[in-house]
Amino acid sequence: MSNHNEHAEEHKHTIGYGTYTIIWFALLALTAVTVAVAGINLGEYTLFVAMVVAAIKAMIVINVFMHIKFDDLIVKWLLGFCGFIFAVMFLFLAFDVLLRY
Amino acid sequence: MSAEVNNTVSFYKTEKGIGSWLYTTDHKRIAIMYLAAIILFFLVGMTLGLLMRLEVAFSGKTIFDAQTYNSVFTLHGVIMVFLVIIPGIPAVFGNFFLPIQIGADDVSFPRINMLSFYLYVLGGLIAIYSIVIGMLNGGVGIIDTGWTFYVPYSLTTTTSVDLPLFAAFLLGFSSILTGMNFVSTIHRMRAPGMDMFKMPLFCWGLYSTAWIQVLATPIIGITIVLVLLERFIHIGIFDPNLGGDPVLFQHMFWIYSHPAVYIMVIPAMGLVSDILATFARRQIFGYKIMAISSMAIALVGYFVYAHHMFTSGMNDTAKVIFSFFTFMVAVPTGVKIFNWVATMYKGSMDMKSPLLFVFAFIFIFSIGGLTGLFLGALQTDIHLHDTYFVVAHFHYVMFGGGIFIFFAGLHYWFPKMFGKMYNEGVAKLVVLLLFVGFNTLYFPMFIMGYNGMPRRYYESLPEYLPLHKLSTLGALILVSGVLIMVTNLIYALYKGKKAEDNPWNSLTLEWTHTQTPPTIYNFNEAPSVTAGPYDYPDFSEEGGH
Q: Do A92 and B313 touch (CB under 8 A)?
A: no
CA atoms within 13 A of residue B159's CA, in its CB half-sphere:
25
Q: Do A100 and B313 touch (CB under 8 A)?
A: yes
Strands B420-421 and B497-498: antiparallel
Work out the minimum CA distance from A4 to partner chain B, whole angstroms. 7
CB-nearest partner of B315 from A1, A88, A96:
A96
- Mean pLDDT of all residues in chain A? 82
| Residues forming a β-bridge with B497 | B421
Shared domain for A82 and A100, answered yes or no, is: yes
Phi, psi of B344 (to 5 degrees): -70, -25
User: Which of A 3-62 lie inside 8 A of B, CB atoms?
Assistant: 4, 6-7
Work out the minimum CA distance from B253 to partner chain A, whole angstroms. 12
Low-confidence residues of chain B: pLDDT under 50: 1-2, 543-545
* Residue B361 contacts residue B275 (beta carbons within 8 Å): no
Q: Is residue A57 part of a domain?
A: yes
A97 contacts chain B (CB < 8 A): yes
Q: Is residue A31 part of a domain?
A: yes
Q: Is B274 helix (H, G, I), strand (E, B) or coil?
A: helix
Q: Do B247 and A96 touch (CB under 8 A)?
A: yes
Q: Do A1 and B187 touch (CB under 8 A)?
A: yes
Q: Where are the alpha helices (DSSP H) in B136-200?
A: 153-156, 162-188
Residue B420 DSSP one-character state: E
Angle at B187 between CA B186 and CA B192, to 5 degrees: 85
Reply yes or no on whether the pLDDT at A1 is more than 60: no
Work out the minimum CA distance from B379 to partner chain A, whole angstroms. 19
Please give the tally of structural domains in chain A.
2
Q: Is residue A5 part of a domain?
A: no
Work out the minimum CA distance from B381 to partner chain A, whole angstroms. 18
Work out the minimum CA distance from B232 to partner chain A, whole angstroms. 26
Substitution target from A92, A93, A98 for chain B, most B beta carbons within 10 A: A92
Nearest CA in chain B to A7: B188
Domain range spanning residue A86? 72-101
Shared domain for A26 and A54, answered yes or no, is: yes
Work out the minimum CA distance from B255 to partner chain A, whole angstroms. 8
* Residue B192 contacts residue B126 (beta carbons within 8 Å): no
Nearest CA in chain A to B198: A2
Work out the minimum CA distance from A82 to partner chain B, whole angstroms. 7
Q: Which residues in chain B touch residue A2, judged by CB atoms under 8 angstroms apart?
A: 195-196
Shared domain for A21 and A66, answered yes or no, is: yes
> What CA–CA distance (Å, rounded) separates B261 from B302?
11
pLDDT at B196: 94
Reply yes or no on whether the pLDDT at A89 is more than 90: no
User: Which of A 64-83 lie inside 8 A of B, CB atoms?
Assistant: 74, 78, 82
> pLDDT by residue (tens digit) across B403-440?
999 999 999 999 999 999 999 999 999 999 999 999 99
> What CA–CA distance (Å, rounded) separates B449 from B469?
15
Nearest CA in chain A to B309: A96
Contacts of A90 (CB under 8 A, 6+ apart): none
What pTM did the predictor assign?
A: 0.91
Shared domain for A54 and A99, answered yes or no, is: no
Q: Is residue A3 part of a domain?
A: no
A96 contacts chain B (CB < 8 A): yes
> pLDDT by residue (tens digit) across B176-206?
999 999 999 999 999 999 999 999 999 999 9
Q: Do A6 and B314 touch (CB under 8 A)?
A: no
Shared domain for A59 and A94, answered yes or no, is: no
CB-nearest partner of B317 from A4, A6, A99:
A99
Rg, C-alpha atoms of chain B: 23
Q: Which residues in chain A touch residue B187, judged by CB atoms under 8 angstroms apart?
A: 1, 6, 74
pLDDT interval class at A3 (50, 70, 90) = very low
Strands (E), B457-521: 497-498
Q: Is B497 helix (H, G, I), strand (E, B) or coil?
A: strand
Reply yes or no on whether the pLDDT at A47 is more than 90: no
Q: Is residue A65 part of a domain?
A: yes
Shared domain for A82 and A39, answered yes or no, is: no
* Residue B241 contacts residue B153 (beta carbons within 8 Å): no
Taking alpha carbons only, the member of B285, B199, B200 closest to residue B540 is B285
Shared domain for A62 and A43, answered yes or no, is: yes
Taking alpha carbons only, the member of B175, B412, B401 closest to residue B268 is B401
Substitution target from A96, A97, A98, A100 for chain B, most B beta carbons within 10 A: A96
Q: Is residue A80 part of a domain?
A: yes
pLDDT at B132: 85
> pLDDT by residue (tens digit) across A73-87?
888 888 888 888 888
pLDDT at B540: 55
pLDDT at B183: 95
Phi, psi of B151 (to 5 degrees): -85, 160
pLDDT at B373: 93
Report domain extents, chain B: 27-456+463-512
CB atoms within 10 A of CB B521: 19
Shared domain for A60 and A76, answered yes or no, is: no
> What CA–CA distance (Å, rounded) separates B273 from B283?
10
CB-nearest partner of B215 from A74, A85, A97:
A85
Shared domain for A30 and A40, answered yes or no, is: yes
Q: Give me the CATH topology for the region B27-456+463-512.
A: Cytochrome C Oxidase; Chain A (1.20.210)
| Side chain identity at residue B487, one-letter code | T
Chain A and chain B share a number of CB contacts under 8 A equal to 46
CB-nearest partner of B318 from A85, A89, A95:
A95
Q: Do A95 and B321 touch (CB under 8 A)?
A: yes
Shared domain for A87 and A101, answered yes or no, is: yes
Q: Which residues in chain B touch residue A82, judged by CB atoms under 8 angstroms apart?
A: 214-215
> What CA–CA distance (Å, rounded) separates B28 from B95?
7
Q: Do B318 and A6 touch (CB under 8 A)?
A: no
Shared domain for A42 and A81, answered yes or no, is: no
Shared domain for A64 and A76, answered yes or no, is: no
Work out the minimum CA distance from B300 to partner chain A, whole angstroms. 10
What's chain B's length in residues?
545
Q: Which residues in chain A touch residue B248, judged by CB atoms under 8 angstroms apart?
A: 93, 97
Residue B396, judged by CB atoms within 10 A of its CB (0-12, 13-18, 19+), counts as buried
Reply yes or no on whether the pLDDT at A14 is more than 90: no
Q: Do B187 and A99 touch (CB under 8 A)?
A: no
Residues of B in CB contact (< 8 Å) with A are: 183, 187-188, 190, 192, 195-196, 214-215, 219, 245, 247-248, 251, 255, 302-303, 306, 313-315, 317-318, 321-322
Angle at B312 between CA B307 and CA B317, to 5 degrees: 60
> What CA–CA distance (Å, rounded) separates B320 from A92?
12
